[in-house]
Structure 1
Amino acid sequence: MTPADWPAVEKIYAQGISDGEATFEVATPSWEAFDAGKLPQMRIVAVDGGDAVVGWVAASAVSSRPAYRGVVEHSVYIDRAARGQGIGRLLLDAFIGAADTAGVWTIQSSIFPDNTASLRLHEAAGFRVVGHRERIARAAVGPHAGEWRDTILIERRSADG
């Protein structure tokens, strides 16, 4: 992912926000904020045959403490028009490879329970459910605005972790 990819990445991110099934965020960040918060070696885009960005994956460190240097939280977003075509799996596989190369031993994320496509994707890629957080926050936008939402905490451990 490069700064030139940002307009497409931001558009896909905005779709995830408005769909209400991917994040508690209410607006996309600026490129500068996104760039500052995501680990450069684990930001990947998927492009179609015409070089249009159709999905992305990125991760943030969960803590600045040295003990957690190998633990990241990731997100995967796919353009609405490209969902169901295996792009999520390609991105997740590439991301896992990049994380392994970077010395990451735990990849984690929180997924809304009704986002069954994401839960299936992650399970197929070797993630496991490690917890269920009830009423973690209220959704502010999208179809669930004002509702308390649960999340499923998932993780994937490397062979070294």
Structure 2
Amino acid sequence: MRVRLAEPKDTVSIAAIYNQRIEERSSTFETAPRSPADMLDRINAMERYPVLVMVDEADQVFGWAGLSSYRGRACYDGIADFSIYLDRSVRGQGLGKQLLQTLLTEAEARGFWKVLSRIFTFNHASLALCEACGFRQVGVYEKHACLEGRWLDCAIVERLFPVNQPV
């Protein structure tokens, strides 16, 4: 498997992988399936916020990861939220680490000083992946949102990069 920047042709696969997690109610508060057009909006923002895909030798997409804006204020321009999703057929094979490490390399190269996310506290695989990639858990948002009548807590994870510029 290799990782590359996403292209418009990947939107069908990206949406399908994301929709698996929406259906499973294990990784996102979203409940409505996403369309390829929805995912194209993310890809179109790649100048600042890259979307990467993990593909096999035939260029079939098996996972994706992306950065998005943390907050709209200028003081937060160097912070990005991240998302990562793998097709259920390849989960548990260590591929997430390769994909997330590549995303982190891309984030640092684009000048971000911090990457963070919120992860359901029961999503042990994602929490372990983040720890393996150098993230630290900095807290828990209790009752962060309600998903189908259930209040869910989210662990807050962050990964800092060295800042070489004076403030």
Give the TM-score normalised by structure 2: 0.87
* Counterparts of 1:122 and 1:29, CA distance in 2: 25
**CA apart distance, 1:40:** 0.6
1:50 aligns with 2:58: yes
Is it true that 1:73 corresponds to 2:81 in the alignment?
Answer: yes
| Structure 1 residue 37, shift from structure 2 partner | 4.8
Shift of 1:49: 2.5
Structure 2 portions without partners, runs of 5+: 1-5
Question: Which one of 40, 47, 52 corresponds to residue 46 of structure 2?
Answer: 40
The alignment status of 1:128 with 2:136, answered yes or no, reads yes
- Which deviations, in whole Å up to 9, do the C-alpha atoms of 1:7-58 show, x marking residues without a partner? 0000000001111111001124444444445641521000123221000001
C-alpha distance in 2 between matches for 1:78 and 1:122: 14
How is 1:133-148 mapped onto 2 (pairs within 5 angstroms)?
A: 133-139=141-147, 145-148=148-151
TM-score (norm 1): 0.90
Q: Secondary structure at the match of 1:120?
A: helix
Q: Deviations over 1:49-96 (max 9, x none)?
A: 322100000111112221111001010000000101121111101100
2:153 pairs with 1:150 = yes
* 2: CA distance, partners of 1:32 / 1:8: 12
Partner of 2:7: 2
- Residue 89 of structure 2 aligns to a residue whose secondary structure is helix
1:97-136 deviation digits (Å, cap 9, x = unpaired): 1000100011010001111010000001000001111111
Percent of aligned pairs sharing the same letter: 37
Letter paired with 1:116: H
Kept after mapping to 1: 8 A contact 2:62/2:90: yes
